[in-house]
Amino acid sequence: MTKYVYFFGGGHAEGSSVMRNLLGGKGCELAEMTNLGIPVPPGFTVTTQAWAHYNRSGHEWPEELWDQTLENLHRLESVAEAGFGDPQRPLLVSVRSGARVSMPGMMETILNLGLNDTTVEGLAARTRNERFAWDCYRRFVMMFANVVLGVRREVFDAEFDAAKSRLGVNERTGRPFPEDVKEQLRLAINAVFDSWFAKKAAEYRRIHNIPEEWGTAVTVMAMVFGNLGETSGTGVGFTRDPRTGDKRFYAEFLPNAQGEDVVAGIRTPLPIEALRERMPTIYDEVLEIAGRLERHYKDMQDIEFTVQDGTLYLLQTRSGKRSARAAVKVARDLVDEHVIDQHTALLRIRPQEVNEAIRPIFDDREKAAAIDRGRLLARGLPAAPGAAVGKAVFDADRAVEWARAGEQVILVRPETSPEDVAGMYAAKGIVTSRGGRTSHAAVVAVGMGKACVVGAAEIVVDEHRRVFEVGGRIVREGDWISVDGGSGEVLLDIVKTVEGELGDEVQELLSWADRYRTEGLGVRANADTPTDAQRAREFGAEGIGLVRTEHMFFAPERIPIVREMIMAVDQTTRRAALEKLRPFQRDDFMGIFRAMDGLPVTIRLLDPPLHEFLPNHKEYKELVETRSRLEALGINPEEQARLEALIANVEKLREANPMLGHRGCRLGITHPEIYGMQVRAIMEAACTVTEQGVHVEPEIMIPLTGTVGEMKETFEQTKRVADGVIAETGVAVRYLVGTMIEVPRAALIAAQIAEHAEFFSFGTNDLTQLTYGYSRDDVAKFLPKYLDMGLVPHDPFSVLDQEGVGEMIKIGIERGRSRRPNLKIGICGEHGGEASSVEFCHRVKMTYVSCSPYLIPGARLAAAQARIKERQAGGGDYRA
Ligand code: ADP
Ligand code: MG
Ligand code: MG
């Protein structure tokens, strides 16, 4: 017989932490706490296996489940010394959802179950509190009707408000729910099972990559009441500050209230000192338990507790959501405190988090100036750090819509609920007028890494009119506001931000990471300017993996010369234009070489189609118009002829499919003078700075190679020019000539390519485009649909497709190294900074990954994690 139900209570539990997948996070930790001797109301958990059966069989329970439920219900009755449905001593329970990972508020929970017309009287009599009993009943009817019977909550809000003011109690007639408490229980368990499929839960799963088949467990436990008067109350707390990671109890308390009021952000709780003042012994007890839980779980905990008539109960513990900065600090501090080791600390932080920890912050002076100018709208509670600037929107749908259209938005709400999660995700920042630091908005925002201010009470949100009002000022939808989640300030207009920097904690953590990485992947940056190169170096880049030379062509003062070069009708004119560009390029390279003194710099020769440098639509129209005007007026024949030739040339250069057209090494082959100029500029720069004592290692990279012929031709061309410069200057500079592997054919013939290439760099943007046959510029037309339908698991342009594109890479590496065993191999596509892709690059034994400067810290960590995991799995030498 399968065991579908696990009991906890009376100091002993059948489950424990290790049964997380079966009992869900909530269920397994309630069991664990029970076994630790921590006061937890008794109850039992129905497993995710039961859910799986229910799900598979079209909502049928496994045969044994009802009997097992009843059996555990009896046990619960005897431990709780109350009877389910008993008119004198009614047992009330909560029916709680809980998946193996925490999905705060995304699924349903029903409280006060077990009340009906009879038991409510019993409850009133036992507690000698009629008002309380009816309030419980009201809450239950509402929740049950909403969650189980699908009655919209607003219907109840309106009715109850009216009824409450009339009678002081609830409406009793016409309840659409069962009087039979066992039937209530059965239906509630079903409803919690079903809540796995609620829209908000599905959205949350999508955002956080949680598999659909995990399902939820259901915990049924005795109710405890924080709303029994002044010796009762409820609280939520973190064992460390989730915004900063500081070691202090960060908690809130609300006297005479039920926990759901705090968690939902409906009422703003008091600082935890309120508990210390009112119930000092309970306060000490909470603190002691919090510390015990943290040491037991070896991580910062987020706990919920309720005090019923002077007795403390823990209702939940889980590892607490935290800001990126806090994640780093907590992990580092726990190593210092000898709670965890460095491996654990490094594996515990998501690479994305160290990137977030260096996100921009507001420029202090700019912010002070804005406040001086009267731009401060409100101060609320600083709930999640970060500087966010965006247009105000007032509902989640609008946030999603606008963000999709490329707008930056700030979601402003009275409070948030789980329905708003997609909107919160789409927004840059979140502001609520109600709720405390542990409200839904705060917890979710911290987890998502969004700047968030809660409880900004001066702000009055009018969702209907799509405005908020504050101190007589009206802010409309679409108005720009700035949100400082670190200080709690909400400002009108755009406040300037400054770039973030690596704090001491991040530095230290990354230094550990680098230690484990020495036998693994290198990390380089994609950087096109000396400033970017400098920044990359500060973030720990060990070289540059990609300098895109075309970006240097786009500068305003250069574009006319570039056009001259492109449009040149003959070699002489083209050479003359190129000669004008050479000093610019040389200066750019010198700047980058200086910034990267001692480190390798990979420079890619011109790659994009010449088409991209042509006059844009408007400029072209003007050209044609001027020509026509001159013609009509019959003046300036020379100018007419010049324009005529220009227009003809533009027409000639236009391509039907430029991405597959005249670009990359194809340009270098048809116009050798272009690459010739670039190589000369690179080598002149290298020789010049070498003479000044800078150590340079230029790596000249040919883009878009697809045939051996192309490789051989461009390799020899490059060598000729480069060696020429060395001979002229008499400065010996060691340099390499290699290629991008971004055309599938190049990966397939990598062995032959390697004969003429001294290094490879996988250009996974083009390689993905060409392997899938998806145009990067048009993919938005169908990819979102594909993602929705689950036809592809990720956007392959941001997460490397390991089975397809990855296979191409493996083949390329294997064949390339078969000819040149020590071939240096890197990746320089967008994927080089994405954690799962970095892990892949480690597995296939690349030499380095290269990514944008701001992703370098994350890449350093991801590479270290890949190595640590490999070692834990018994992997040996990194090098092939
Ligand atoms: P969620 O996953 O949405 O946080 P929970 O199952 O934790 O849902 O329930 C929401 C809130 O209901 C809890 O934070 C707690 O305050 C309250 N609650 C749940 N079970 C009980 C109980 N047995 N006694 C008192 N309050 C409870
Ligand atoms: Mg909870
Ligand atoms: Mg490319």
Backbone angles phi, psi at 552, to 5 degrees: -70, -20
Instruction: Give me 27's structure tokens.
Output: 């269920």
For residue 369, what are the contacts with CB-CB under 8 A and spacing of at least 6? none
The predicted pLDDT at position 634 comes to: 87
Identify which of 134, 138, 113, 122 has the alpha carbon closest to the alpha carbon of residue 86.
122
Identify which of 765, 766, 719 has the alpha carbon closest to the alpha carbon of residue 738.
719
CA 314 / ligand 2 centre spacing (Å)? 11
Distance, CA of 37 to CA of 10 (rounded, Å): 9
The minimum-distance atom of ligand 1 relative to the CA of 226 is 25
CA 264 / ligand 2 centre spacing (Å)? 10
597 compared with 532, residue with greater pLDDT? 597
| Res. 151: pLDDT tops 80 | no
677-726, pLDDT tens digit by residue?
999 999 999 999 999 999 999 999 999 999 999 999 999 999 999 999 99
Contact between 52 and 213 under an 8 Å Cβ cutoff? The reply is yes
Instruction: Give me 119's structure tokens.
Output: 């038991």
CA 224 / ligand 1 centre spacing (Å)? 10
Nearest CA owner, ligand 1 atom 11: 260
C-beta of 235 in contact with ligand 1 (< 6 A): no
Nearest CA owner, ligand 1 atom 6: 96
Ligand closest to 198 (CA) is 1
By most ligand atoms within 8 Å of CB, the mutation choice from 147, 263, 438 for ligand 1 is 263
Lowest mean per-residue pLDDT among 153-157, 261-265, 297-301, 689-693: 153-157
CB atoms within 10 A of CB 5: 22
The predicted pLDDT at position 166 comes to: 40
DSSP state of 90: B
Backbone angles phi, psi at 308, to 5 degrees: -110, 115
The backbone region for 797, taken as left when phi is positive above 0, alpha when psi lies in -120 to 50, beta otherwise, is alpha
Distance, CA of 442 to CA of 450 (rounded, Å): 9
Buried residues in 423-443 as b, exposed as e (16+ CB within 10 A) = bbbbbbbbbbbbbbbbbbbbb
Q: DSSP per residue over 98-165, as a string?
A: EESS--TTTS-EEEEET--TTHHHHHHHHHT-HHHHHHHHHHHHHHIIIIIS---HHHHHHHHHHHHH
Q: How many residues does the chain have?
A: 880
C-beta of 65 in contact with ligand 1 (< 6 A): no
34-91, pLDDT tens digit by residue?
999 999 999 999 999 999 999 999 999 999 999 999 999 999 999 999 999 999 999 9
- Within 13 A of 67's CA, how many CA atoms are on the CB side? 6
Q: Is 665 a catalytic residue?
A: no
From 28, 665, 828, 851, the catalytic residue: 828
Distance, CA of 468 to CA of 455 (rounded, Å): 14
CA 610 / ligand 3 centre spacing (Å)? 14
Instruction: Give me 508's structure tokens.
Output: 């230290």
Confidence category of residue 850, pLDDT binned at 50, 70, 90: very high
Instruction: Give me 503's structure tokens.
Output: 């704090």
CA 43 / ligand 1 centre spacing (Å)? 13
Ligand closest to 91 (CA) is 1
C-beta of 221 in contact with ligand 1 (< 6 A): yes
The predicted pLDDT at position 164 comes to: 42
Q: Is 828 a catalytic residue?
A: yes
The backbone region for 577, taken as left when phi is positive above 0, alpha when psi lies in -120 to 50, beta otherwise, is alpha
The minimum-distance atom of ligand 1 relative to the CA of 97 is 6
